[in-house]
Amino acid sequence: MGKTAFLFSGQGSQYSGMGKALYEISPAARQVFDTADSIRPGTREQCFAGSAEELSITKNTQPCLYCVDLAAARALEEKGVTAQFAAGFSLGEVAALTFGGVFSQEEGFSFVCKRAQAMEAAAGENPGAMAAVLKLSNEEVEALCREFSQVWPVNYNCPGQLVVAGEKEELSRFCARVSEVGGRAVPLAVSGAFHSPFMESAAKTLEEELKKLSLHAPRLPVYANFTGKPYGEEAEKLLCAQVKSPVRWQETLEALKAQGADTFIECGPGKTLSGLVKKTLKDVTILRVEDEETLKATVAALKG
């Protein structure tokens, strides 16, 4: 019998109205949003009615996505769907850790709010940009990055897709080099050079925040972006390193399959992670939950 992994969506998948249907149909999902609103009033309204512009601001994006990600997983659990593994992309890792019991729901939400503020502040101190590079190998992209002093490979998404981050002008020149060697660079609509050395100050801020919390051992394996392996005893170290280091997503997916995962359920808005699973793994089942329709379809598929 195969195993199931819940995957928690990351920044960039947000949209106005996300989570509203889950809130209306699932008591477990409703509790996630209501708890968040008691800590950060207006979070629920931002998810359900915030403009695209409002939701694209990092200090809003991350708390809102955390809620939708966790609400989707709780709604699945409420329907009797269990996971043997969890992993989240970037900010989704905080939702995965909360689902896995490392954070309490309140602590996880408070931490993601601090994370969002710290990353937005770091982006203000060191303005940067990001771009996805297609049609080149990881090694080719890494070699191109070495031609520049402030451009780094940051998100190893799937075969043939590596995201880079860096200083804006250098990144523009980097994208031109990508075209010269036959690749394609697609600028991303983000507000900073996330998962790069430009996030050093955010990592230091989070180190101080984590000293105030008592993290618990995970109740199931939660895979870390920083290592592509399950969290162990150094959760604080991994969480701080994560914001300034590459996301090893392809490696994470391959490790999950090697451990017996053959069903991957994306929890949260959009289907970006589902697409990355499809491009990385063969012979697996890919499902997702973000609203009533996808929740019903996923439960039906698993029972069928």
Please list the residues that pair with 185 across neighbouring strands: 133
pLDDT score of 12 = 85
User: 302 falls in which pLDDT band (50, 70, 90)?
Assistant: very high
User: 223 falls in which pLDDT band (50, 70, 90)?
Assistant: very high
Is residue 204 pLDDT above 90, yes or no?
yes
Report the run of H or E that residue 34 belongs to, with start and end.
helix 27-39
Asked whether the beta carbons of 132 and 161 are under 8 A apart, the reply is yes
Asked whether the beta carbons of 154 and 131 are under 8 A apart, the reply is no
CA 151 to chain centroid, in Å, comes to 21
Tens digit of pLDDT for each residue in 36-80? Answer: 999 999 999 999 999 999 999 999 999 999 999 999 999 999 999
Buried b (16+ CB within 10 A) or exposed e, 214-224: ebeebebbbbb
Catalytic residue status for 90: yes
Q: Sign of the CA dihedral 147, 148, 154, 159?
A: negative
Is residue 1 pLDDT above 70, yes or no?
no
SS3 of residue 167 by DSSP = strand
pLDDT score of 230 = 96
User: 214 falls in which pLDDT band (50, 70, 90)?
Assistant: confident
Which residue would you say has higher pLDDT here, 109 or 188?
A: 109
| % of the chain at pLDDT higher than 70 | 100
Pairing between strand 3-8 and 261-267?
Answer: parallel
| % of the chain at pLDDT higher than 90 | 94
Among residues 90, 110, 196, 201, the one annotated as catalytic is 90
Asked whether the beta carbons of 199 and 193 are under 8 A apart, the reply is yes
Whole-model pTM: value is 0.95
Show the domains of the chain with their CATH numbers: 3-124+197-303 (3.40.366.10), 128-187 (3.30.70.250)
SS3 of residue 118 by DSSP = helix
Nearest to 165 by CA among 245, 271, 87: 245
User: 301 falls in which pLDDT band (50, 70, 90)?
Assistant: very high
User: 296 falls in which pLDDT band (50, 70, 90)?
Assistant: very high
Distance CA 147, CA 197 (A): 17
Is residue 215 pLDDT above 80, yes or no?
yes
Among residues 195, 196, 201, 245, the one annotated as catalytic is 195
Which residue would you say has higher pLDDT here, 164 or 214?
A: 164
pLDDT score of 92 = 97
Catalytic residue status for 149: no
Q: Sign of the CA dihedral 85, 114, 245, 235?
A: negative
Distance CA 204, CA 93 (A): 18
Distance CA 230, CA 224 (A): 6
Q: Edge to edge, what strands does the sheet with 85-88 contain?
A: 222-223, 85-88, 3-8, 261-267, 285-289
Tens digit of pLDDT for each residue in 69-116? Answer: 999 999 999 999 999 999 999 999 999 999 999 999 999 999 999 999
User: 189 falls in which pLDDT band (50, 70, 90)?
Assistant: confident
Tens digit of pLDDT for each residue in 245-262? Answer: 999 999 999 999 999 999
Report the run of H or E that residue 263 belongs to, with start and end.
strand 261-267
User: 28 falls in which pLDDT band (50, 70, 90)?
Assistant: very high
The pLDDT mean for the chain works out to 95
